[in-house]
Structure 1
Amino acid sequence: MSLFPTASLLTLLLVLTACGGPRPAAPPTTDGPELPYKKLVQSGEAEERSGNFLSAAHYFRRAYAQRPRDQAILYRAAERYVQVRDYRNAADALHLLEPDEDRWPLLGLQLGRALKQDGRYEEARRELALFLETYNGGDRPIVAEIVRNELAGITLARQRTGEETLIDIDRPGRGINTSADEFGAVAVAGDQLFFTSTAGGQSRLYQSRLQAKEWTKATVPPGFPVIAEGTFGTGSLSPDGRIFFFTICSGQTGEEKTNRCEIFRGERSTSGNWSQPEPLDTRINLPGSNNAYPCVVTAPDGSLALYFASDRPGGRGGMDLYLAESTDPANPSAFSDPANLGTSINTLSNEITPAYDAESGALYFASNGHPGYGGLDIFRSHGTFGNFQSPVNLGEPVNSAADDYGLSLVAGGGTGYLTSNRAFPPAKPGTTETDIFTLNFRAGRARLKATVYDNTTGGELPGVEVELLEIGPTGSLSSIAKRTFPTGVYTFDLQPGARYRVLIRREGYQGAEYQVSTSSQGSSLYGQPVFLRRQALPNPEPGSTGAQSQVLGPGLGNSPSAPSPGLPPTTPPASPAPNVTPPAPASSAPATAPPAPVVYRIQISAEGSFDPAAGKYEAVRAIGDLASEPIPGQRLLRITVGYFTDPAAAKNALAQVHARGFPTAFVVRYDAGVRYGRVRL
């Protein structure tokens, strides 16, 4: 449903955004005598035909000043201000319009949205509430759902105003952002960034490198072909960096023209040159629809999976997100028929810029259909196709009252990028220009990552279901994500300064659980290895319970991830929160599984206290999980890193620990979960 009677401007804007337009031209000069009314209207219409919608809006607004009773020309100005995202002028123009249910029946919704995106939440709330109370059109059920969603977003924004944030946001200057539009950041390497810019009048792909904390002058990537017909949009590199999937749009942005976007692919040779772009087949590029914002990831079986946005028939509304899977490993262009991601993700409005983190099983995307701060906001949903959880708004400063989309997280780091038209004074005072912003997660990207083992063999245990539940301030539980992992390694994104319960299940094995409290600053890696014991009895019937297994076993408790004093007990409350699967209580049957295998850890020091966020441990975090255990009879803690079943791996890790600032570290052996002592390998 369009907010204006002329085409679906919101969907059109998203399509244009995929390839950079429309460009807000400079306001027309007002030096000298004012033009007559007719000339102002003609000039505005000429600017419309050229795609210069901001300039057209200014002409129409000046024409209205000469004829204040000409409501139609004022409405045309409002249309164009909305199209170029000049929210302040759009709201002011809409506010001057006289109510007319026949000519602009959705005026209250339009005004409320413009005020909301200008950050005037209380004014927006009043206008939207009044509109919801008085609107009685035949499409009221749909319109009411949209308005309630906008009101829910205002409530969310006001509730979370002033929350402590652990994310710093900045707007890079020279090297990336210009007075044109920049968007679609793709982290190629730790210091290299691909992005799209309309500098020079056409949307093109550029690259820049971060050197000495400054971005180098943007250049076209060497060997990348010139897009002769159409304009370049956003892109996504395959995990091996060899194949680039990207959008090319027709570039026709005038009032009477139709802009269409399709997804292409290019392949990089060993010499660094790129092949000519090839469009994906009509399964992806369905004729008559827009197909954009590709995101390519590696599926568990090693094949490619493609997420993208499309306004094809059969969706929920506007742009929806879809998933297609590779059907021929030898042909990177061959994909299955796309499947809609469903109602947990897609709404009546628009969802764009998908980004799937395969390691944590999290889908990041932008939407203006879920409750948000204004316009497009960025959301996260854990899960896989057919089983995505309810999306979570990432809040400020990731989101703002303006449009925020195109989140790109740097692998393994505490940084990321997003696209936004937000005001960022003094360098960027307005909202008509789109720029790339950098994100720095001061607490790192808090992440749960560990491995599940078979207690009998010591080998990794694939196919384990792990559920993550957040523990609220009162001890209440809410399910955040549930996922089955193809290997023994499980991982989830966490929030800094939060508490979680981790439930681990696998058919034929006793369950396990533990709790995690994340730090509000510093280290970002949490989790502990878990050994599951085989069930001594046949698999229980559905609804029955199985035994709890040890996580580390006697003598290996008190790790930073273990339950701490003051945390809720490891059994669920009498009335668990909705949608929470309570952990299975301990079985009365004795455990018959054999003892845990011999394992090794690296002891790096003995301390009076242990802060896993301390910077001195930063160099060894990549080697393995940090943990602590008390020294009997002393007020000291042994600090250890890693968990190894292979002596050779432990010996190699010890050498790395020595080289990273702990020259006195040594290997400790544990037999059946009990500390044996220091050993030489």
Structure 2
Amino acid sequence: MIRNLLFILAALAILAPSAEAQSWRKLKKEAEAAYERGEWLTAAQTYDEAFRKKRKKEDLTFQAGEIYFTLRDYRNAAEAYRPIKDKNDEFPLVGLKYARCLKQDGQYDRAIQEFETFMQGYTGDTREILEEIIRVEIAGCRLGMEAPARANRDLEVLLPGEGINSDKQEFAPFPITDDELYFSSTVNGSAKILVSKRDGNQWGKGETPRNFPLIQNGHFCNAAMAPDGNRIYFTVCNDEEPVWNDVKTRCEIFVTKRVGAQWSQPERLPDYINTAGVVATHPFVVHQRGQEMLYFSSNREGGRGGMDIWFASRDLGLDDNDFSFPINLGPVVNTLGDEITPFYNREDQVLYFSSNGHVSIGGFDVFKANGDEVSWSQPENMGMPVNSSADDYFFALNPSRKGGFLTSNRVFAGNKIVTTNEDIFEFAKGGRRMIVKGNVYDRGSGNPIGAITVRLYEVMNDGREAELRSERFSDGRYSFDILPNRQFRVEVEAYGYQTEGYAFSSDNPEVFAYGQPTFLQQEGAPATVPDPPAEPEVPGRNLPTAPAEPAEPTAPVISQPTVPANPPAPNTPYVTTSRDPNDNNEYQTSATRHSGTYYKVQLAAVGAFSPERFSNVADLGEVQTELILARSLNRVMLADFFTLEDARRVLATVKSRGYEGAYLIEYIDGDRYGRVR
């Protein structure tokens, strides 16, 4: 009996690897089948699951990353690329793709590091070209880090309701009037041209334009009406690919002409515009000097890079389609990358277009250039709020020129939480100028505190934070300009005090000023709150109440971190610099540098460090210090936690023990990367 049992156990041990191998192979086949059916998200997730079962098969995570990247799921793409980001010989340019995903996810500081790392390790024949691409990408990251402080406060961006947008793709807005909008949507499967009318503040449900010709096959989209209203140019595009793509889906330009109250059967523009095998798309027309000028995007031969912007013209006195041969707008506008979605404002002689080849804060950004035909000024990035870390294009002014529309796959203030679909956004000039402001007081005495440092963060829908501003104020009062329809957190520091802060959302259309008084507690002082001094009323704010004295909690249960079998010995003091671009101070520490990602809790920043002051949290981790050399200030850290879940659990306990201003810091391979929510 025992012999039989041992035989069965041995057989199971032999078969176990085979069963495991079969499992990942089955998942791989399921992923391939899902991809062929056009179920790309399912395919990516299944490749991801297969890789977790068989991590030696790195092509599985590469396939997952490629699909996520195509779907513009930047975060999941970055996570899929991350294990192989340094293996560019096996997976060409994967390090570059990884860095671009970080950039378009708004992680500019990490993206800069990864762009630099990729370039340092690249030895291919195209190094000279890639060096220029990397230079532009890094400049875009730096521009993105500065963009919130430079945002155009005269523009307000809004997300129209369900009459226009859905969970599919909405794009190519073309306003006929300020209250009538042509646009394209894949809501019913294939892309189609729809029209919506505004009633008050509400946009009606999109419908097929009245008497528009019936098109049986393919996507038909990207409509642009001629200024006299007698022609509509649009594209008919290949519908063989399962996923619509504004740039890569092959399209040709057609025109339909007004005949009384009807529209004629579509006519394909000549072969020298619709060149065989290439993309011709994004038409836009203006009338000037007796000519109808057709601007469009194409990857036709003779261009600068991928997609370029071209123009052709025809005589307005004739009703034919006899356009001139297309002319490239030239190297000032067009780059080695892609330039798409032209919109030309004839009155101001300004061309608006989108590009991923000029310095952008995301992928495609909107730019403007003054000029005409082939003579253009240097393009200017439109900045925030027109642009974002995602893709932004199809910028179009409405006829009154008081506002307009654009297309973006950005996330938006809780109303849009993913980047995998693009929506139409409306913008209005003369937007609300909004501020956050407040005064800072000593919690014990109620007296104003003089010198303070205030940081403003934007809080993303997934909890990540991006530092927007960090400024010192000498009189205990602060004020920042902010944008509407966003979530923020304010953090206040002063020498000798614990850090405090509060969060708020700028989503009340009746409120233009946000903020609240902030009370800082001296290090080691009891937690009491005085009666607040008289302060001018600020609409829309919630005044703080005195925090209840918490009961002393028990220590949380922390899972043991996975560390090397032979962890490194404690270091002697060394000097290093944070990777956080908003905190580039040199600091001295003796903390152990671990491999991979881990976390520490920052308890306080003090002049003279005394271990006894922090003994009530010493049971939760190791108390460490980071001496900021330029300021003679010690950051007091509680370390180390190797999962975010553990770190957050400890942070909650730390706050309950009196460290209300504590927060988490992320470290990667021993380098300090900055704060996490």
Q: TM-score range by the shorter chain?
A: 0.5 to 0.7
Give the corresponding residue for 1:268: 258
Offset of residue 68 of structure 1: 1.0
Q: Is the 8 A contact 1:246 1:265 kept in 2?
A: yes
Q: Aligned to 2:106, which of 119, 131, 136? A: 119
Q: Is the 8 A contact 1:74 1:93 kept in 2?
A: yes
Give the letter for the 2:391 counterpart: D
* Residues 261 and 35 of structure 1: CA distance in aligned 2, closer, same or farther (over 3 Å): farther
CA distance in 1, matches of 2:37, 2:350: 41
Give the letter for the 2:122 counterpart: Y
Give the % identical residues: 39
Offset of residue 389 of structure 1: 0.6
Offset of residue 34 of structure 1: 13
Q: Does 1:87 align with 2:74?
A: yes
Output aligned runs, 1:281-360, within 5 Å.
281-299=270-288, 301-327=289-315, 329-360=317-348
Q: Secondary structure at the match of 2:115?
A: helix
Q: Is the 8 A contact 1:328 1:335 kept in 2?
A: no
Q: Secondary structure at the match of 1:225?
A: coil
| Superimposed CA distance per residue, residues 470-501 of structure 1 (whole angstroms, 9 cap, x where no aligned partner) | xxxxxxxxxxxxxxxxxxxxxxxxxxxxxxxx
Q: Does 1:233 align with 2:221?
A: yes
CA distance in 2, matches of 1:111, 1:308: 31
Give the corresponding residue for 1:253: 241
Give the letter for the 1:290 counterpart: V
Give the corresponding residue for 2:200: 212
* Residues 425 and 39 of structure 1: CA distance in aligned 2, closer, same or farther (over 3 Å): farther
Q: Is the 8 A contact 1:327 1:336 kept in 2?
A: no
CA distance in 2, matches of 1:320, 1:368: 11
> What do you get for the CA RMSD once the two structures are aligned?
2.0
Give the letter for the 1:362 counterpart: V
Number of aligned residue pairs: 409
Give the corresponding residue for 1:171: 159
Q: Is the 8 A contact 1:206 1:218 kept in 2?
A: yes
CA distance in 2, matches of 1:328, 1:418: 29
Q: Secondary structure at the match of 1:293?
A: strand
Offset of residue 409 of structure 1: 0.3
Offset of residue 123 of structure 1: 0.5
| Superimposed CA distance per residue, residues 524-572 of structure 1 (whole angstroms, 9 cap, x where no aligned partner) | xxxxxxxxxxxxxxxxxxxxxxxxxxxxxxxxxxxxxxxxxxxxxxxxx
Output aligned runs, 1:41-56, within 5 Å.
41-56=28-43
| Superimposed CA distance per residue, residues 563-611 of structure 1 (whole angstroms, 9 cap, x where no aligned partner) | xxxxxxxxxxxxxxxxxxxxxxxxxxxxxxxxxxxxxxxxxxxxxxxxx
Give the letter for the 2:36 counterpart: R
Offset of residue 98 of structure 1: 5.7
Offset of residue 91 of structure 1: 0.6
Give the letter for the 2:149 counterpart: G
Give the letter for the 1:373 counterpart: I
Structure 2 alignment gaps of length 5 or more: 1-19, 433-677
CA distance in 2, matches of 1:332, 1:212: 40
* Residues 50 and 327 of structure 1: CA distance in aligned 2, closer, same or farther (over 3 Å): farther
* Residues 98 and 309 of structure 1: CA distance in aligned 2, closer, same or farther (over 3 Å): closer
Give the letter for the 2:257 counterpart: E
Offset of residue 50 of structure 1: 2.8
* Residues 199 and 132 of structure 1: CA distance in aligned 2, closer, same or farther (over 3 Å): same
CA distance in 2, matches of 1:190, 1:96: 49
Q: Is the 8 A contact 1:71 1:98 kept in 2?
A: no
More displaced 10-residue stretch of structure 1: 322-331 or 137-146: 322-331
Q: Secondary structure at the match of 1:345?
A: coil
Offset of residue 201 of structure 1: 1.1
Give the letter for the 1:374 counterpart: G
CA distance in 1, matches of 2:85, 2:387: 33
Offset of residue 174 of structure 1: 1.7
Q: Is the 8 A contact 1:252 1:259 kept in 2?
A: no
Q: Secondary structure at the match of 1:268?
A: strand
Q: Is the 8 A contact 1:235 1:244 kept in 2?
A: yes
| Superimposed CA distance per residue, residues 348-377 of structure 1 (whole angstroms, 9 cap, x where no aligned partner) | 110000011111000000000000111000
Q: Aligned to 2:349, which of 330, 336, 361? A: 361
Give the corresponding residue for 1:658: none
CA distance in 2, matches of 1:397, 1:282: 39
Q: Secondary structure at the match of 2:118?
A: helix
Give the corresponding residue for 1:448: none
* Residues 216 and 127 of structure 1: CA distance in aligned 2, closer, same or farther (over 3 Å): same
Give the corresponding residue for 2:378: 390
CA distance in 2, matches of 1:354, 1:328: 21
Give the letter for the 1:37 counterpart: W
Q: Secondary structure at the match of 1:152?
A: helix
Q: Is the 8 A contact 1:328 1:334 kept in 2?
A: no
Q: Secondary structure at the match of 2:256?
A: strand
CA distance in 2, matches of 1:200, 1:34: 40
Q: Is the 8 A contact 1:48 1:254 kept in 2?
A: no
Q: Is the 8 A contact 1:281 1:333 kept in 2?
A: yes
Q: Is the 8 A contact 2:305 2:337 kept in 1?
A: yes
Q: Aligned to 2:395, which of 380, 403, 407? A: 407
Give the corresponding residue for 1:515: none
Q: Aligned to 1:428, which of 392, 416, 423? A: 416
Q: Aligned to 2:188, which of 177, 182, 200? A: 200
Offset of residue 402 of structure 1: 0.3
Higher share of residues assigned strand: 2
CA distance in 1, matches of 2:328, 2:430: 35
Give the letter for the 2:275 counterpart: L
Q: Is the 8 A contact 1:307 1:322 kept in 2?
A: yes
Give the letter for the 1:107 counterpart: V
CA distance in 1, matches of 2:404, 2:300: 30
Offset of residue 254 of structure 1: 4.5
CA distance in 2, matches of 1:151, 1:228: 45
